[in-house]
Structure 1
Amino acid sequence: MGGKITYFFLATVLVLVFGVVALEGVLLLLTGEPAAMGMGAVAFLLPCVGVWFLWHNTSFARNAHRLARELEAEGGLPAEEARRTAGGRIDRDAADEIFARRKAETEDSPDDWRCWFRLAVAYHDARDTPRARKAMQKAITLRQSTPSGV
């Protein structure tokens, strides 16, 4: 719950900053000076791009959490299998071992969103964030195209 409050707070601050920058952009556009208008256009467009990224990432996180809750209700969430180092990080060899199993599971059932979810967790544990996000996006896409209860 604390993570959601922090995320909401930071997202709100970010939207407020976007608003101030966009307002400054509009004010620069209204000056009539070519250089100021160019800077104003950029200052107005950057917050638009920022809002899109914020929306996209918030949507991704909500969908991933929804899948996690659904998988947990089914009893299909991956258990804490990996050994941890003294510092609390997941042992690299253990993460690689689990990843190999999850990858094989996903190759055997490429249309099962549950396998892709577990593969995303394995990628994350192996510290491969870009592939973890891609695998989670695949899980989300597959789940959205799967009728409920299947």
Structure 2
Amino acid sequence: MKTRVSVALIAAVLVLYIVVIGQWAWLLLTSGRPAAIAMGAALIVIPAVGAWAVGCELWFGVRAERVGRRLEAEGGLPDDDVAVFPSGRVVRADGDAVFPRYRDDVQAHPDDWRAWYRLGLAYDAAGDRKRARGAIRQSLELESADRA
């Protein structure tokens, strides 16, 4: 719930930013001065790229959460007994200790979206966010093909 509130707040700030920048862009575009028009065009492009990037991240989060709920309903989430901090994050040493199990599962079943999702959770527990996102993305692709 805390994450959703944070995401909603960031999205609201982004919308406010886009509105304010859009007003400035309009003023610059309608000024008639070439330099101001160029700056106004940049003020439209840069927030548009930012909005697209945020939209992609939100869509990734929605899809990952949906697939995670599906895996949970199937009883397939990891059930390792690992220590966690009060914040809920896994103690890294414990995350590192269980990682080989999930890596080996993906190597044995490379077309199983469930194995990839669990590997993504293991990467995250081990503190490797980049690989965690990659494994979750692979899981989403495989799960999407599985549903089709």
- Per the normalisation by structure 1, the TM-score is 0.88
Shift of 1:89: 5.0
Shift of 1:59: 0.4
3-state SS of 1:146 partner? helix
Could you tell me whether the CA contact under 8 Å between 1:19 and 1:47 is conserved in 2?
no
Whole-angstrom distance in 2 between the partners of 1:84 and 1:70: 24
Whole-angstrom distance in 2 between the partners of 1:78 and 1:128: 17
| Alignment match, 1:21 | 21
Gaps of 5+ in 1: none
Could you tell me whether the CA contact under 8 Å between 1:18 and 1:50 is conserved in 2?
no
* Equivalent residue letter for 1:54: V
> Structure 2 vs 1, CA of residues 131 and 25 (structure 1 numbering), >3 Å: closer, same or farther?
same
Could you tell me whether the CA contact under 8 Å between 2:99 and 2:126 is conserved in 1?
yes
- Per the normalisation by structure 2, the TM-score is 0.90
Aligned length: 148
* Equivalent residue letter for 2:105: E
Whole-angstrom distance in 2 between the partners of 1:40 and 1:119: 45
Q: Deviations over 1:4-47 (max 9, x none)?
A: 23322321221121121122112211112121112111111111
Whole-angstrom distance in 2 between the partners of 1:40 and 1:58: 27
> Structure 2 vs 1, CA of residues 85 and 4 (structure 1 numbering), >3 Å: closer, same or farther?
closer
Aligned-CA RMSD value = 2.0
* Equivalent residue letter for 1:115: A
- Where does structure 1 differ by over 6 angstroms across 4 or more consecutive aligned residues? 85-88
| Alignment match, 2:40 | 40
> Structure 2 vs 1, CA of residues 22 and 80 (structure 1 numbering), >3 Å: closer, same or farther?
farther
Could you tell me whether the CA contact under 8 Å between 2:80 and 2:98 is conserved in 1?
no
Whole-angstrom distance in 1 between the partners of 2:129 and 2:118: 14
Whole-angstrom distance in 2 between the partners of 1:56 and 1:87: 27
- 2:92 is aligned with 1:92: yes
Gaps of 5+ in 2: none
